[in-house]
Chains A and B, each alone.
Chain A
Amino acid sequence: MSTVLQAIANGLMIGGFYAMMGMGQNVIFGVMKIINFCHGEMLMVGMYLTFVLYTFFGMDPYAAVPFVAFIMFILGACIQSSLITPSLGTKSFTNLLFLTVGLGTLLSNIALVTFGSSFRTITTSYTGNVVQLGPVTMGLPKLISFVVTIIITILLFAFLKYTTLGKQIRAVSQNSVGAEVVGINVKGIYILAYGIGAALAGTAGALLTLFYVISPTAGSIFSFRALIVVVVGGLGSIPGAFFAGIFLGLLETLVSLLVSPMYKDLIVFVTFIVILVIRQNIIARRR
């Protein structure tokens, strides 16, 4: 029983990361209707940024989170205004597919050239600390990271729900023509949304560094998971992405425990396909 609880705790934790990735992806998809295929690489960049801040500036990885988020926001905003906004004008999905996939390749190769292919880790004085929560034992870094992901999720919800900018983001997602009519700066919202997406991915990367190896390809697994989260949770839906992320994390750890870690990916993707088929049928029947 306690192993199941342990697996659930781990699942929630990793699910929090998937949720954060999925929500970032969904903010971007919501306003621009494009899929950001370099989302995982942005997480990887966040990891290396944290690594640099830790190694060269002696900054604690958690203290680095706001800096990483800020730098990633600026990076995202620059990518949006210099590359994505101009290609949106072509209205070609293929263009944007190649653009974002290419960006991802570029980012991971820059990391490869700069840091080499060897795996890096960050070890702090509290890396090995554990916290006992009833029957569940959890590494302190994992617990802190989980709490931070929850806080960020709540902040994102509140931002989108109550602030003027948040409302404008939702307005553009729901109806970009209507948004233009009421004088919302739609291009500005694009930049903001992409910046938020990049910042969320970077933050997830920063929070992962304490218990995950840092490598130029570390993001790819999260890239795929983020796509699953987005599709299962509903394109553009932030709460959907959150719950789908948690669900995916739980599914993975429970399968690893109850079946075998070997079948983890298999079962995750089969479930994904099953959900797609079932939902397609429901949608078809509704029509």
Chain B
Amino acid sequence: MLKVRGLNAGYGSIKIIWDEAFEINDGEIVAILGSNGAGKTTTVRAITGLIKPVSGSVEFNGEDLAKKSSRHILDKGIVQVPEGRQLFTGMTCLENLEMGAFNKQLKADFKKNLEKCYTWFPKLKERASQIAGTLSGGEQQMVAVARALVGEPRLLILDEPSLGLAPNIVDDILKVVKELAETGVSVMLVEQDITKALAVADRGYVIENGCITLEGTAGELVTNEHVKKAYLGI
């Protein structure tokens, strides 16, 4: 499980997130909610080692990963589906998935994991040899999720998976996420679309201006007055 304590991070001298603390248990789906610019993606980048946290600890299964390289963190099983998908648009769908198998063990298991991905996203099998940049937005998001799944995540981080996608495709993807969590994988779901996120999440945290201001179970957050006013427009 993931235990984040006192996490401070930013870019250069600009601090974006302040003393964040949250945790994600095994097999749990935790939503990280907040509006644009609240610090959600920075949180993701700090946890996955793409930026080095200024201070704080990111404990994952007993090991502090706060100062570790992004590669080491991947090896430990924290894999993300980045914001904006970040596919290799000139490569085929299959080549993109291959890139997700980043170490020897995963390369050996690639065939097995690929089959699993195809059962979750049958469309990707048809599209295997198609250039990723020519796929529809929804299919590209599926490639991005599958690329992460090939990395055998123990904690899967999804950063804004709903961005720019049709609602039914978002539902398809979230359904897979839910099934994945049932197999014991922890999921950190970073979202602006609070309704959709809380529909699948067990618990959630709300980030505002780089600080966690609210936390609770999905049910509590949906009925929270502040959340209703600020995010759901009710």
Nearest Cβ on chain B to A174's Cβ, whole angstroms: 4
User: B89 touching A182 by the CB < 8 A rule?
Assistant: no
User: A180 touching B50 by the CB < 8 A rule?
Assistant: yes
Smallest CB-CB separation from A168: which chain B residue? B99
> What chain A residues lie within 8 Å of B74 (beta carbons)?
182-183
User: B50 touching A178 by the CB < 8 A rule?
Assistant: no
In the assembled complex, B95 has its CB within 8 A of some CB on chain A: yes
With most chain A CB atoms within 10 A of its CB, the pick from B75, B86, B89 is B86
User: A177 touching B90 by the CB < 8 A rule?
Assistant: no
In the assembled complex, A127 has its CB within 8 A of some CB on chain B: no
Interface string of B79-90 (1 = CB under 8 A from A): 010100111111
In the assembled complex, B100 has its CB within 8 A of some CB on chain A: yes
Which of B75, B85, B90, B99 is the one whose CB lies under 8 Å from A182? B99
Cα A171 to Cα B100 in complex, Å, equals 11
Given contacts A170-B88, A170-B91, A174-B90, contact A184 B82 (CB under 8 A): no
A: number of interface residues (CB 8 Å): 16
Smallest CB-CB separation from B101: which chain A residue? A182
B: number of interface residues (CB 8 Å): 23
In the assembled complex, B138 has its CB within 8 A of some CB on chain A: no
> What chain A residues lie within 8 Å of B203 (beta carbons)?
none
- Binding site of B, secondary structure by majority: helix, strand, loop or mixed? loop
In the assembled complex, B64 has its CB within 8 A of some CB on chain A: no
Cα A103 to Cα B98 in complex, Å, equals 38
> What chain A residues lie within 8 Å of B70 (beta carbons)?
180, 183
Nearest Cβ on chain B to A107's Cβ, whole angstroms: 33
> What chain A residues lie within 8 Å of B175 (beta carbons)?
none
User: B95 touching A182 by the CB < 8 A rule?
Assistant: no
Cα A79 to Cα B82 in complex, Å, equals 32
Given contacts A167-B98, A182-B100, contact A177 B91 (CB under 8 A): no
Task: List chain B positions with a Cβ less than 8 A from chain A.
Answer: 48, 50, 70-71, 74-75, 80, 82, 85-91, 95, 98-100, 102-103, 147, 151
Task: List chain A positions with a Cβ less than 8 A from chain B.
Answer: 167-168, 170-171, 173-175, 177-185
5 pairs from A and B in contact (CB 8 Å cutoff)? A167-B95, A171-B91, A178-B82, A183-B70, A184-B99
